[in-house]
Structure 1
Amino acid sequence: MNNTTESQLALEKIWAISDMDDSLLQRARLTGLEPVLPSVYKTGVAAQSTIAASALAASEMWRFRTGRSQDVSVDMKHAAIGFRSERYTQINGDTSKTFASSGVSDDPSEVHGFYKCGDGGWLQIHGNYPAHKLGVIEAFRCEPTKKAVQDTLSKMTSLEAETYLTGRALPAAMMRTLDEWSVHPQGVAVSSLPLMEIEKIGEADPLNFSDNPKRPLEGIKVLELTKVLAGPLMGRTLGEHGANVLWLNAPHLDVIDGLIMDMSKGKYPAHLDLDDRKDKVTFTELSKSADVFIQGYRPGSIASKGFSPYDMAEIRPGIVCVEISAFSHEGPWSSRRGFDSIVQTVSGIGREGGIAKDQEGMVHLPCQALDHATGYLGAFGAMVALLKQRREGGSWRVRLSLAQTGHWLKSLGRMNEIT
């Protein structure tokens, strides 16, 4: 089976989630072959199929609003470049202040990275944000250096370190194999879930689209409460198709400048603090005219402030709420902080990369594949739910997670070798 056929099959399975006419798949033209990135997993197939799914949903949105059809063409190499967009962002030709210059650092004062623990196991600490770095240093009561952190971890097992740091709400992960993850309670919970869920959560009359749009999502208002990377990419994708996206962040929260440069394109960024009474009133007023609400914080965190999907459906009947999390809404880790690389570490993806490269420890995917795929899937789900709302009414919820996307990526199969 060639890779384009594999991408077509992956697209068909994603499209089946929408319950829309299968004949619409005939509009999609997929070209190109693996390998496009050096990976043990089929990141090219994942990129091509998820980008095609979101584009095809936009095409159907356009046909529904205008009566005119559009074909969708996605080349695998172009899709792979899209999955690394934050790495190619430049500011006047300079990448030094962008995401391309971030990641695991040789700077001895940085704590972000991989550590070998006292039992021979490996631990990843995600310390890109200053608050997380400070949290690790305070937790270990050590000097703010990589060496000091390593010295501390040399006296702990990897499981002890993971339990200790995550117990302090810090993003850290013990390296696990595929087999270890498959029997872990969280791995079992994730494996029981579909790739994503699109469900009606309340009654509402069908809302109307504006007339004579110039783009598929023109007139659609999106409220986005996200940080990195899947949620911002979802908002960016909706903006690319014409939506009016308001990206809200609390002024006291850290950001990664390089990601802001790439993920804020086509949006209106603003500061709002939901712990502030006045700002909370402002957000409620904004919600009353929103068509889509995206939130990428831990399950329950935004709900605790009075803005669960059910709350939003009361404020704005007919709204589409998209929830993106690290480990899904099920299982003992549902409220745990996580990032793309953290999910790779715990789920065996990182270790499989290490095995393929004949290296000790982990080799992560050559792109933030879980983030990007989840972002495009979220955009697909939002557009599907918008179409369902206009056709049959109701308020809708879309739920997906990095862990569910990782489980799906593994199901696509493996490359014979990393090239």
Structure 2
Amino acid sequence: MTGLWGELGLPDAVVTGEETVLPGPFRVAHAASQTIAAATLAAGELLRLKGIEPGTVSVDMRHAAAAFRSERYLRVNGEPPADPWAGLSGDYHAADGWVRLHCNYPHHAEAVCRALGVPDDRDAVASAVAGRNSWDVQEAVLAERGAAAAMRTREQWLRGEQSQALAQAPLVDFSPIAPSPARPLSTSDRPLGAVRVLELTHVIAGPVAGRALAAHGADVLHIGAAHLPVLPTLMMDTGLGKRSAHLDLRTDAGRDRLWRLISEADVFLQSFRPGALAGLGFTPERLAEARPGIVLVELDAYGWSGPWAARRGFDSLVQMASGIAAEGGLDKPRPLPAQALDHATGWLAAAAAMLALRRRTVEGGSWRARLSLARTGLWLDSLGRLEDGGELDVSGLLTETASVYGTLTHVRVPGTLPASNPRWENGSPLPGADPAEFRKCSGNARPKN
């Protein structure tokens, strides 16, 4: 075993198709096939624990690449949904280079306007940025609790403290939280049948992880809040197979209800900014006390140590900060042909959850796995470069699913697992439309606690 799968203790999979299906020098299609295969292989290992031979896992490179751009191909009743990018979001030319502002959420747009002293107007923002140093713009926006990143070269990033901190961390950082007895898997013939997942995430990596777990049979309950903004297009794309409930964690009642859900959960998947949930009392240790044997999977932007560990960030910002957008020395940023750091981290997080469940079954214990977009970016960088490819053909890769929004046309679940191919049982829900409770299991599908 070599490469990613070997590092995760997984067997080999079969990858088919050509890699040059996406434009750009980075090996995005290769990364897509590797991470999707990792999650599918991890699902197969859970079947093996149940005495079910999983068969040979395979991933088609074109299908994997399409899955990494799933939000681009979503249609609702045949029509494209609203563009998720808000008016102020984008790349701006500063006095010394480029800076990207992420304004998809209203409070982040307000932070930019406060930092620059301008109204909510793209021309006004562009004029203000043009007169400043890109790093100064970044720091001013961050000081106002916004999200921004100045474009740096690869060399600048690799020399920096944050990159060096990331280089010391594994791609997926597993650690035990507390001992507990081993817990058997259910008798379901699906890898994650009767597994309960609490998902407290937002765009895009965390929701992709939850969507992948749902595809392998998990009961995934996404927890949001009525007072928090959402991006409907991305919710529709990443909500397949899930249910959605609202809890207000600012209140005692909301926190108490979440603790009751935790006491029934197998996996707790979260992408809050580092320290945010712990500040509300939801520390790894307390989670393990409330639910011995719980698997905690945590995602962030820039890593879990180093000077940027608590910094707000999104895929497009990490691409700017880490030199990915500056690849080739172009006179303007060139983003990856997909939100690849998000999608790769999401599929790796799903694999991590299933690998930790395997450890819980064999060894017992409560487990923690931590991943970050920037660490995934270092891995992508390490894969080397290739010549530019063409534009992706998605013919034969789309399917339709009924939902409360109408008929969703979307990318089929990638990855073949012969003994139990992944699938989504339902279309995406409306945010907060479901009760804050897990589905009831019948018979002996779920092992006794």
Q: Are 2:336 and 1:365 aligned?
A: yes
Q: 1:318: Cα distance to partner?
A: 0.5
Matches within 5 A, 1:130-279: 130-211=106-187, 213-279=188-254
Q: Are 2:391 and 1:406 aligned?
A: no
Q: Hey, what does 1:374 align to over in structure 2?
A: 345
Distance, in Å, in 2 between the alignment partners of 1:17 and 1:222 is 25
Structure 1 stretches of 5 or more lacking a match? 1-8
Q: Hey, what does 1:68 align to over in structure 2?
A: 53
The amino acid that maps onto 1:70 is G
Distance, in Å, in 1 between the alignment partners of 2:8 and 2:28 is 23
Q: 1:344: Cα distance to partner?
A: 0.2
The answer to whether the 8 A contact 1:63-1:70 is kept is no
After the TM superposition, which segments of 4 or more aligned residues of structure 1 sit over 4 Å from their partners? none
The answer to whether the 8 A contact 1:166-1:172 is kept is yes
Q: 1:214: Cα distance to partner?
A: 3.0
The amino acid that maps onto 1:140 is L
Measured against aligned partners, the alpha-carbon deviations of 1:79-131 in whole angstroms (never above 9, x if no partner) come to: 1011111111111001033xxx333x7xxxx211111112x211100011122
The answer to whether the 8 A contact 1:39-1:418 is kept is yes
Q: Hey, what does 2:101 align to over in structure 1?
A: 125
Give the TM-score normalised by structure 1.
0.90
Distance, in Å, in 2 between the alignment partners of 1:68 and 1:32 is 25
Distance, in Å, in 2 between the alignment partners of 1:85 and 1:303 is 32
The answer to whether the 8 A contact 1:169-1:336 is kept is no
Q: 1:230: Cα distance to partner?
A: 0.5
Matches within 5 A, 1:21-40: 24-25=11-12, 28-40=13-25
The amino acid that maps onto 2:257 is T
Q: 1:418: Cα distance to partner?
A: 5.3
**3-state DSSP of counterpart to 1:269:** strand
The answer to whether the 8 A contact 1:31-1:76 is kept is yes
Match for 2:91 among 114, 118, 123?
Answer: 114
Q: Hey, what does 1:13 align to over in structure 2?
A: 3
Distance, in Å, in 2 between the alignment partners of 1:324 and 1:17 is 19
The amino acid that maps onto 2:84 is S
Distance, in Å, in 1 between the alignment partners of 2:162 and 2:144 is 19
Q: 1:142: Cα distance to partner?
A: 1.1
The answer to whether the 8 A contact 2:223-2:244 is kept is yes
Distance, in Å, in 2 between the alignment partners of 1:287 and 1:55 is 26
- More displaced, 186-195 or 392-401? 186-195
Q: Hey, what does 1:77 align to over in structure 2?
A: 62
The answer to whether the 8 A contact 2:112-2:144 is kept is no
The amino acid that maps onto 1:406 is G
Q: Hey, what does 2:265 align to over in structure 1?
A: 290
Distance, in Å, in 2 between the alignment partners of 1:304 and 1:93 is 44
The answer to whether the 8 A contact 2:178-2:366 is kept is yes
- More displaced, 278-287 or 130-139? 130-139
The answer to whether the 8 A contact 2:153-2:326 is kept is yes
Q: Hey, what does 2:84 align to over in structure 1?
A: 102
**3-state DSSP of counterpart to 2:268:** strand
Matches within 5 A, 1:38-53: 38-53=23-38
Distance, in Å, in 2 between the alignment partners of 1:76 and 1:418 is 13
Q: Which has the higher contact order (CA 8 A, sep 6+)?
A: 2
The amino acid that maps onto 1:117 is A
Q: Hey, what does 2:355 align to over in structure 1?
A: 384
Give the TM-score normalised by structure 2.
0.84
The answer to whether the 8 A contact 1:50-1:377 is kept is yes
Q: Percent identity?
A: 43
Q: Hey, what does 2:71 align to over in structure 1?
A: 86
Q: Hey, what does 1:6 align to over in structure 2?
A: none
**3-state DSSP of counterpart to 1:160:** helix
Distance, in Å, in 2 between the alignment partners of 1:203 and 1:49 is 32
Distance, in Å, in 2 between the alignment partners of 1:79 and 1:370 is 14
Distance, in Å, in 2 between the alignment partners of 1:373 and 1:233 is 9
**3-state DSSP of counterpart to 2:344:** helix
Q: 1:179: Cα distance to partner?
A: 0.5
Q: Hey, what does 1:4 align to over in structure 2?
A: none
The answer to whether the 8 A contact 2:22-2:388 is kept is no
The amino acid that maps onto 1:284 is W
How many residues align structurally?
Answer: 390
Q: 1:19: Cα distance to partner?
A: 3.6
Please, what is the CA RMSD of the aligned residues? 1.4
Matches within 5 A, 1:298-313: 298-313=273-288
The amino acid that maps onto 2:93 is K
Structure 2 stretches of 5 or more lacking a match? 391-449
Q: Hey, what does 2:413 align to over in structure 1?
A: none
The amino acid that maps onto 2:18 is L
Matches within 5 A, 1:318-333: 318-333=293-308
Q: Hey, what does 1:5 align to over in structure 2?
A: none
